[in-house]
Amino acid sequence: MRLDVRWPIGGMFSILGIMLTLYGALSSPAIYERSLGINVNLWWGLVLLVFGLAMLWFAYRAYRESKPKVTDSTSTP
Amino acid sequence: MLGIGWALRRRIRSSEDFFLSGRSIPAWIAGLAFISANLGAQEVIGMAASGAKYGIMTSHFYWVGAMPAMVFVGLFMMPFYYGSRARSVPEYLKLRFDEKTRGLNAITFAIMTIFSSGISMYALAKLLELVLGWSFHGSIVVSAVIVLIYIFLGGLTSAIYNEVLQFFLIVLGFLPLVLLGLKDVGGWSGLTSKLAVVATNAGFEPGAWSHSWKYMDSPTHNPMGMEWFGLVMGLGFALSFGYWCTDFLVVQRAMAAGSMTAARRTPLIAAVPKMLMPMLVILPGMLAIGLHATRGGFLPIGDDGQPNYNLAIPMMLAHYLPSGLLGLGLTALMASFMSGMAGNVTAFNSVWTYDIYQTHIRPGQTDQHYLRVGHAATVFGILASVLAAYSATRFNNILDMLQLVFSFVNGPLFATFLLGMFWRRTTGHGAFYGLLTGTITAALHYGLTLPRGSVPGIKGGFLGAVLHTYPSEMALNFWTALFAWTGCFVATLLISLFTKRTKTDEELRGLVHSLTPRQRDGDMPWYKRPVTLAVAILAVSALLNVIFW
């Protein structure tokens, strides 16, 4: 296993989450008329951020656990 | 999104590399890749379109179709695939039968990939037309060019990782849509009352769109026009088992797992999220048709006077999501169209080059020669996809068209596999002529019947006489698949009995059930055994059927 897929997934969703949350916090409330008055960018951005961070945390935990073991040297981080 | 694909590509050099070193990927990743190889944009658009056109009966694709089939793949088929050296269906057919069976399958498979990629192309073009306001013709050209560039840049090399990424993108991109839609109509009960209007307008009982089994006693009582026998045999048996057991775009994912047990567990793990998928892909369609009927003009009307159900998801996106989240939803859709097309064109390229051209047309050429042929095949594949995309404009539900293609290809093939794997007496001649008979049976059935309200042509009935009119396109597909399966099964059986075996027991070791060592799960704790997982999955899907009866 060269690259744990949880790193890119976690990274991508964390970045997306931060972007959406910021956009949600800064955008005018008028655009949320179609989403029933809910600031979905803010809330869903937070959901994505939590999901992304959880993925990163799992990836980090798996990485730390696998580290002490001597595996074949071909693997890269 | 593209950037991540690019970064990943640098790390994973080739798919072969992946298969050689990667037989250690965790089961949950293999499981997610397993369903995301199948959860393309086609599924999102097609299932939502069917949700709108046929209502909750569409869930039969999951709880009657996919669940038992995935369990069957995991328990019974995986040992042959994982154990034999085969990497593709044509390759297995060559090992089990002979060169000509492989050739025939390669041809039908090549045609299937073209239609599949054409349907994705149509959906992408429709989306570009809607969002950017381009003309449909221009959008088709642009999509074709984008796919061409994507493939030549080697966009598919990190397929499995990209697929897992896309799986989450689709789930997280569409979930807010479903939640907002449900809140808007007032939850499940609000949706049911809106769907009652849809059903009454169409001349059915009020519950026809919100009950999956209740109105299946007769084809005239439900929007799909099926009764329970045709549905269970046509969809549940011939089409679903055919698709999940023989579609290697999907099966390959399980073969990347670390061990035989992990490979067998992959489809079972995949079945768990798959079971919940109707909530994400069928529900938006049902919401869209409910809104269409009660608030008016939600879906654009096509040339055939019917709503264009394919636009259910794009219209819902545009209706509910503000800029920001809308971008996420559109990215999820476009990314999966792109990989759907690229995956199919690449599959076409390899089947044409290795299974047809190298084997039957010009063997023994240099690698460079085959590489050039491969490039030409890619360009040809994309041009042919454009034609397929235009034929898709005739269908107001792309799932109707997709299942039609599957009924021709996977329906008969499943009979061949079933006999080949469980009856060692099945011969090469039997398999070849059986497969041919099955495909011809499908063509005859399709050519002599027609869905109601269609003109003879691409939708069937082109052989002059229309012997039977089905209430819907999907009903025609299910019966086509069942006829094709039966034709292939009977012909293979009879011809095998009258022809001599060409393969000895020794050659068939690992390819036929009775000549393959049994899988022993006895040393595992009971809760880890694949059988336990399988029983649990079947029990929960049975429960879901009862809840939405």
Q: Of B4, B172, B180, which is closest to A40 when you measure between CB atoms?
A: B180
Q: Which chain A residues are within 8 Å of B161, Cβ to Cβ?
A: 3, 5, 8
With vertex at residue A77, the alpha carbon angle to CA A74 and CA B6, rounded to the nearest 5 degrees, is 100
pLDDT score at B2: 43
How long, in residues, is chain B?
A: 549
CB B487 within 8 A of CB B412: yes
Question: From residue B251, how far is each of B36, B243, B529 by CA, in Å?
Answer: 12, 10, 20
Whether pLDDT at B437 is above 90: yes
Interacting residues of B256 by C-beta distance below 8 A, sequence separation 6+: B18, B19, B22, B23, B25, B30, B33, B160
| Backbone conformation region of residue B463, classed left if phi is above 0, alpha if psi is from -120 to 50, else beta | alpha
* Cβ-based burial of A48 (10 A; exposed 0-12, middle 13-18, buried ≥19): buried
Q: Which of B10, B36, B163, B172 to mutate to test the interface with A (most CBs of A within 10 A)?
A: B172
Chain B hits for A1, Cβ within 8 Å: 22, 24-25
**Average pLDDT for chain B:** 81
By the 10 Å C-beta count (0-12 exposed, 13-18 middle, 19+ buried), B84 is classed as middle
Model pTM score: 0.85
Among the partner-chain residues B24, B165, B321, the one whose CB lies closest to the CB of A1 is B24
User: In chain B, which residue's Cα lies nearest the Cα of A75?
Assistant: B21
Please report, in angstroms and rounded to a whole number, the separation of the first and last CA atoms in chain B: 40
B466 close to A (CB below 8 A): no
Q: What is the pLDDT of residues B465-495, one digit of tens each?
A: 788 888 888 888 888 999 999 999 999 999 9
Beta-bridged to residue B468, according to DSSP, are: B449
Q: What sign for the dihedral angle of Cα B524, B29, B236, B434? A: negative
Tell me the mean pLDDT in the region B364-382: 84
At B520 the three-state DSSP class reads coil
**Residue B85 pLDDT > 50:** yes
Distance, in Å, from the CA atom of B306 to the CA atom of B131, rounded to the nearest integer, reads: 22
| pLDDT surpasses 70 at B429 | yes
Complex ipTM tops 0.85: no
Backbone angles phi, psi at B450, to 5 degrees: -150, 140
User: Is residue B410 a contact partner of residue B477, using CB atoms and an 8 Å limit?
Assistant: no
CA angle A26, A32, A35 (to 5 degrees): 140
The rounded distance, in Å, linking the Cα atoms of B41 and B336 is 5
